Amino acid sequence: MIIAIDGPAASGKGTLAKRLAAHLGLPHLDTGLLYRAVGRAAIDGGIDLEDADATAEIADGLDVASLDESRLRGREMGEAASVVASHPKVRKALLDLQRRFAHQRGGAVLDGRDIGTVIAPGAEVKIFVTADAEIRARRRHLELEKRGDAPPFASVLADIRKRDARDAGRADAPLKPAPDAHVLDTTALDVESAFAAALAFVERHRH
């Protein structure tokens, strides 16, 4: 079974995807880490994030096994990921890698921005996780505070809105729910309630 989970920044899709994967015994891929890794390598190499050719070359040589998640988290990497993900050449370079992961024997859980629409349009379960921008900004701000990396709340909110506009407005694979996706609004839900709702969607497709 392939489970595709999409949604904007800080909607809770990553936490949900990890919980579902663990519960169902399926491998999980946070596809946003791939774009963060491209952004990290570009910054480390002094490459302009707006350089589509150079960042696509990085994406071509990306090794999933060597991803260092600790260096890919944080506000700067989230912004870098959003910039490089706007390049069609980068998206194309990472497309096959994500599709191979999705279609491995037994299935998988993937979360990102275009899993249900582009990477795995044939996924048995598609969930689009969303929440109000201010709620998402509060969650992200709290997460950054725990890491000791928190800017003012207004700055986090501005970043969230900027990323939403970039992700939804890009010409290639814009952020949007697949026509057959279950939309899960987590604005008023805690982690347990969101997980229960998502699991109910999955169970509906398993029987």
User: In residues, how long is the chain?
Assistant: 207
**What φ, ψ does residue 184 adopt, rounded to 5°?**
-120, 105
Helix (H, G, I), strand (E, B) or coil at 189: coil
Q: Is 8 annotated among the ligand-binding residues?
A: yes
Predicted TM-score (pTM) of the model is: 0.88
Beta strands per DSSP E along the chain: 2-6, 28-30, 108-112, 125-130, 182-185
Arch. (CATH architecture) of 2-206? 3-Layer(aba) Sandwich (3.40)
Tens of pLDDT, residue by residue over 93-128, are 999 889 999 999 999 999 999 999 999 999 999 999
Nearest Cα to Cα of residue 197 among 25, 61, 13: 13
Task: From residue 91, give the alpha-carbon distance in Å to each of 23, 58, 147.
Answer: 30, 12, 29
Instruction: Give the start-to-end residue ranges of the domains of the chain.
Output: 2-206
Q: Which helix (H) or strand (E) holds 198?
A: helix 191-206
> What was the pLDDT predicted at 79?
87
Tell me how far apart the alpha carbons of residues 177 and 180 are, in angstroms, rounded to a whole number: 8
Q: Is 10 annotated among the ligand-binding residues?
A: yes
What counts of helices (H) and strands (E) characterise the chain?
8, 5
> What was the pLDDT predicted at 207?
63
> What was the pLDDT predicted at 167?
87
Q: Is 15 annotated among the ligand-binding residues?
A: yes
Q: Is 116 annotated among the ligand-binding residues?
A: no
Q: Which residues of the chain have pLDDT under 50?
A: none
